Amino acid sequence: MDGSPQNSSTDVSIRERLTFDLDVDICVVGGGLAGLTMALEAARMGASVALLEGRNIGWNASGHNLGTVMPGYGVAVSGLIERVGFENARALWSLAQEGADYVRATVSGTPGAALNEGALEVSKVDAGDELISRLQTLGEDFGTEVEGWQIDRVREALKTDRYFHAIHFPKAFQIDGRQYVHRLAALAEDAGVRIFEDTPVVSIDPAGIRKRVATPSAKLRCSHIVFAGNAHLGAPGRRLTATLLPTWRYAALTEPLGERLAGAITFRGSVADTHDIDHFRIVDGDRLLWSSPETTWQGDPQRYAKRIQSRIAAIFPNLGPVRIADAWSGMFGQTVHGMPQVGELQPGLWVLSGFGRQGLNTTAMGGQLVARAIQQGDDRWRLFSPFELVWAGGSAGRIAGQVVGVWSRGHSAAAGALSRFRERARGREQAQERAREARMAAAKAQARAAGQRTAMSRHEDNGGSAGGA
């Protein structure tokens, strides 16, 4: 979750709840981006699909996102290679790119879609060698369109000394996240998916060929159940929710900043730092949409809006006072291994979850993958087998997650401060060296001038003596 200027209020349910017994091929539990994509694609392949949402479509993380579509996953590509090997990592990366292409194609068909190009991943430390290594891996080995930005170019686009090098993803893009989730819902219904809101799942019986799903007012029979929810699934999805660390992300939208915004930020795409602390972009021409703190317990968005205000002031002091127009939060589930959970738990029972920190492209990828697995026998979901369900630690895990988050932010701040100190020290040393060189050059010039004057004087004296003789 990162926030969207259109998302600060909760949508009112506009679809009926399930009040009658129903028989379908596939039951999708959860009306977020992944569940909607899966339902849409399965229906397009000929399946009868019912989607059950306990509240309303896109009410949580799926409807509260910054709308940035990047290549890859939340795990660094080096970590992915280490975990599954080079070839499987490339195959997973290719699937993620298919997801990004899917989002672009879907949004491009939306009237008035506000699609913005480009994303920067900026480094808060001076790490040029690491940048070169990542560029080689992403560009040469994984076929991703990327380019490295040196410090001068970064600071020309983002006028702050907080950022050093950057990786530019020219094919990344931003969309209106709320518009996208409702676009998926409309397309799914057009394809024949029956969406029921305000319909929580009370229990499931996954045994046998025909599974049973119970809701407060009706029962549903199906051949496949797809758990596409977050950490709110409750008792029927307890095994799944226990593997997710619930995390709240806070976002704020500034008041219009006018012409002074251009004096601080000229890059029009999204910007995220390598430590995933700040994520921001320009919206509505002259406003900042900024996402920053995270907690493993729900907090007051207005309180965290003040922190975001402080972050903006610290990073872009030349903006001057910035007022916050709106603030909100959303919860997402993080997996222990940092990758999505995609696959079959037992015959006919599927999981499609754990997309926190993954990006919109992975929700599209996962939805397509499970739909193809059920309808066409596509077994590429097995690429995610190494990323099994791992217990997130319960309350102790939430405490540990919060402590690690605080430590990580503090470590990042210290590393950034150290890099800036070293840069200033290098600057002073270079200035001192230039001053020394200037003094030496001046001294040499004086010496040469003095030597020339002495030589001329001797020449004149010698010439004068000859003339007198």
| Domain contains 159 | no
Domain of residue 78, CATH code: 3.50.50.60
Q: Flag residues of the chain having pLDDT under 50.
A: 1-11, 390-423, 465-469
Query: What's the predicted TM-score (pTM) here?
Result: 0.79
Q: Are 163 and 154 contacting, i.e. CB atoms less than 8 angstroms apart?
A: yes
| Domain contains 16 | yes
Q: Are 184 and 40 contacting, i.e. CB atoms less than 8 angstroms apart?
A: yes
Counting beta carbons within 10 angstroms of the beta carbon of residue 173, is it exposed (0 to 12), middle (13 to 18) or buried (19 or more)? buried
Looking at residue 402, what is its pLDDT?
38
Number of domains in the chain: 1
Beta carbons within 10 angstroms of residue 148's beta carbon: 16
Looking at residue 456, what is its pLDDT?
65
Looking at residue 88, what is its pLDDT?
95
| Domain contains 160 | no
Looking at residue 112, what is its pLDDT?
59
Looking at residue 191, what is its pLDDT?
98
> Which residues is 280 bridged to in the sheet?
271, 290
Looking at residue 389, what is its pLDDT?
56
Range of the domain at 351: 1-114+175-243+336-392
Q: Are 243 and 341 contacting, i.e. CB atoms less than 8 angstroms apart?
A: yes
| Domain contains 148 | no
> Phi and psi dihedrals of 48, rounded to 5?
-90, 130
Q: Are 162 and 423 contacting, i.e. CB atoms less than 8 angstroms apart?
A: no
> Which residues is 166 bridged to in the sheet?
122, 149
Q: Which two tokens stand for residue 30?
A: 């959860």
Q: Report, in angstroms and rounded to the nearest whole number, the Rg of the chain calculated over CA atoms.
A: 29
> Phi and psi dihedrals of 213, rounded to 5?
-125, 125
| Domain contains 371 | yes
Looking at residue 425, what is its pLDDT?
55
* Percentage of the chain exceeding pLDDT 90: 51
Phi-psi region of 46 (alpha: psi -120 to 50; beta: other; left: phi over 0): left
Three-state secondary structure call for residue 226: strand
Phi-psi region of 377 (alpha: psi -120 to 50; beta: other; left: phi over 0): left
Element (H, E) at 68: strand 68-69
CA 118 to chain centre: 13
Give the C-alpha separation, 217 to 214, whole Å: 8
